[in-house]
């Protein structure tokens, strides 16, 4: 977890990347990976409806970017974003989604069965690699519901609620994991069908410094399928 | 989108030189800044970009783009050789990010004039970003540079009708639908998750 934070720090302080830049590239990777694994034609719901659950931090921001690109790719995303930071970055991303006609739910569906009926996929953009400690409401209840749905879950970077290094045997079991920059230790516990790598912005020098040993991305793709 | 389309137009294995070198010429304003972003992505895609950025913008965002490129070990030339053969020999292609749609008609004659004069005579392909630099954004140009590839940003500009090169890409997938409708853009369908789409070449 510290390594991931150190890499991020270097990208911002040494390389002068802005959070906006990297978040846009990360969110685009997530949408691209989802489109490869779950093309719109594969949905059994009448529209390719996707529920994107966004948490209170950067993982939630990645989710907002992802939702916007999913819309561009022909999906019908809906966002649930209960805790919104008062920062221009997140306000901007929210506006961009709203202006694209992406609905924001006022309430989280109370029953897992309702989610299964309405959506063909759920994107878990609740907690990322900085997550530590206890899960605060409303996310505890949300995760509880998500643990009972049968439609696939695509988690951004780390399955929410998992310990970033050790995983969580009785926690969320996503079908897809999109690891950003490099897989986190918890990814060794990932048991779903699709593991993608995204966030193709790490300069070669940083990859070497942190011995990331990333496999090569194909051509100009922004994602790489690991499994 | 621009580096992706540059990558599509010249896939790595097809480049004639042993090293996948590309010269990215950046002007002083937004078009140049897009060139910097393009150069960075080309580097991630394993090309070897070199940048010529003689007049640097004071805009903090664009200065950060410059830092990102420098930290990725992308060399910045201190001058552009006037001997075109040197450019032809050293690089596989040139990305023209000198002037964009917002450029005034006269800018092609000012400080950028020398650069454009050199670019007019090179033999290697040119990829122009949004508007071939030096062209009038509506009328096009006679006697200006002749790019091989044009990447229109958001939507093609009027001068794109005069484009005679091999490939014309549009990078406009980020435009919200209401903007597209308001300006009656009628963009083509983008394949899959691609952020650029090739328009039919004029010939």
- What is the nearest CA distance from A26 to chain B, expressed in angstroms? 14
B191 and chain A in contact, CB less than 8 A = no
pLDDT tens digits for range A135-167: 999 999 999 999 999 999 999 999 999 998 888
Least confident of A38-42, A48-52, A187-191, B146-150: B146-150
Nearest to B167 by CA among B44, B9, B52: B9
Residues 6+ apart with CB under 8 A from A75: A34, A35, A40, A48, A49, A50
Identify the pLDDT of residue B159: 86
Task: Give chain B's domains with CATH numbers.
Answer: 1-199 (3.40.50.10260)
- CATH classification at residue A75: 3.40.50.10260
In DSSP terms, B23 is beta-bridged to: B50, B94
Residue in chain A closest to B4 (alpha carbons) equals A220
- What is the nearest CA distance from B82 to chain A, expressed in angstroms? 32
pLDDT tens digits for range A69-127: 999 999 999 999 999 999 999 999 999 999 999 999 999 999 999 999 999 999 999 99
Q: What is the DSSP letter of B140?
A: B
Paired sense of beta strands B21-26 and A176-180, if any: unpaired
Mutate to test the interface with B, among A10, A16, A201 (most CBs of B within 10 A): A16
- What is the nearest CA distance from A32 to chain B, expressed in angstroms? 6
Residues 6+ apart with CB under 8 A from A106: none
Identify the pLDDT of residue B203: 45
User: Can you read off the two tokens belonging to residue A81?
Assistant: 């974003």
Distances (CA, A) of B59 to A15, B62, B102: 16, 5, 16
Q: What is the ipTM of this complex?
A: 0.85
Identify the pLDDT of residue B187: 77
- Residue numbers of the domain that contains A22: 1-39+47-225
B positions 62-101 inside 8 Å of A (CB): 63-64, 67-68, 71-73
Of B3, B67, B73, the CB nearest to A205: B73
| Structural domains counted in chain A | 1
Residue in chain B closest to A218 (alpha carbons) equals B45
CA distance B104 to A12: 35
Residues of B in contact with A31 (CB under 8 A): 193
Per-residue confidence band for A209, with pLDDT thresholds at 50, 70 and 90: very high
pLDDT tens, position by position, for chain B (203 residues)?
Answer: 455 555 444 545 456 667 889 999 999 988 999 999 999 988 988 889 999 999 999 999 999 999 999 999 999 999 999 899 999 999 999 999 998 887 665 555 566 888 998 999 999 999 999 889 888 877 777 668 889 988 888 888 888 888 888 888 888 788 787 888 888 777 788 888 888 888 865 44
Residues of A in contact with B12 (CB under 8 A): 219
Nearest to B50 by CA among B60, B42, B59: B42
CA distance A62 to B110: 43
């Amino acid at each position: 977890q510290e390594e991931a934070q150190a890499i991020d720090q270097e990208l911002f302080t040494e390389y002068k990347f802005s959070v906006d830049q990297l978040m846009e590239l990360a969110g685009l990777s997530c949408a691209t990976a989802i489109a490869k694994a779950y093309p719109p034609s594969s949905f059994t719901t009448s529209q390719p409806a996707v529920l994107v659950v966004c948490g209170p931090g950067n993982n939630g921001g990645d989710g907002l970017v992802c939702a916007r690109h999913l819309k561009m790719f022909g999906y019908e995303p809906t966002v649930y974003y209960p805790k919104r930071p008062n920062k221009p970055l997140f306000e901007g991303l929210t506006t961009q989604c709203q202006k694209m006609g992406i609905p924001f739910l006022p309430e989280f569906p109370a029953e897992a069965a309702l989610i299964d009926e309405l959506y063909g996929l759920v994107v878990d953009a609740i907690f990322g690699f900085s997550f530590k400690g206890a899960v605060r409401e409303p996310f505890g209840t949300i995760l509880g519901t998500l643990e009972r749905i049968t439609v696939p879950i695509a988690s951004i970077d780390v399955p929410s609620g998992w310990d970033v290094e050790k995983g969580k045997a009785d926690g969320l079991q996503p079908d897809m994991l999109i690891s950003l920059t490099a897989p986190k230790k918890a990814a060794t516990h990932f048991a779903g069908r699709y593991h993608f790598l995204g966030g193709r912005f790490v300069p070669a020098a940083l990859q070497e410094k942190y011995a990331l040993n990333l496999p090569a991305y194909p051509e100009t793709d922004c994602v790489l399928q690991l499994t | 989108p621009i580096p992706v389309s540059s990558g599509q137009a010249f896939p790595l294995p097809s480049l004639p030189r042993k090293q996948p070198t590309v010269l990215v010429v950046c002007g002083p304003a937004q078009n140049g800044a897009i060139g910097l972003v393009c150069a960075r992505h080309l580097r991630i895609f394993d090309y070897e970009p070199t940048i010529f950025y003689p007049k640097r913008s004071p805009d903090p965002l664009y200065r950060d783009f410059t830092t990102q490129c420098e930290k990725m070990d992308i060399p910045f030339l201190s001058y552009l050789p006037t001997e075109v053969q040197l450019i032809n020999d050293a690089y596989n292609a040139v990305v023209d990010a000198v002037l964009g749609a917002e450029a005034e008609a006269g800018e092609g004659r000012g400080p950028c004039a020398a650069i454009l004069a050199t670019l007019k005579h090179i033999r290697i392909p040119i990829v122009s970003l949004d508007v071939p630099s030096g062209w009038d954004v509506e009328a096009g140009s006679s006697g200006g540079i002749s790019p091989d590839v044009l990447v229109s940003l958001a939507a093609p500009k009027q001068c794109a009708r005069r484009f005679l090169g091999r490939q014309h890409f549009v990078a406009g997938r980020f435009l919200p639908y209401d903007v597209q409708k308001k300006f009656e853009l009628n963009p083509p369908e983008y394949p899959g998750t691609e952020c650029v789409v090739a328009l039919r070449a004029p010939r």
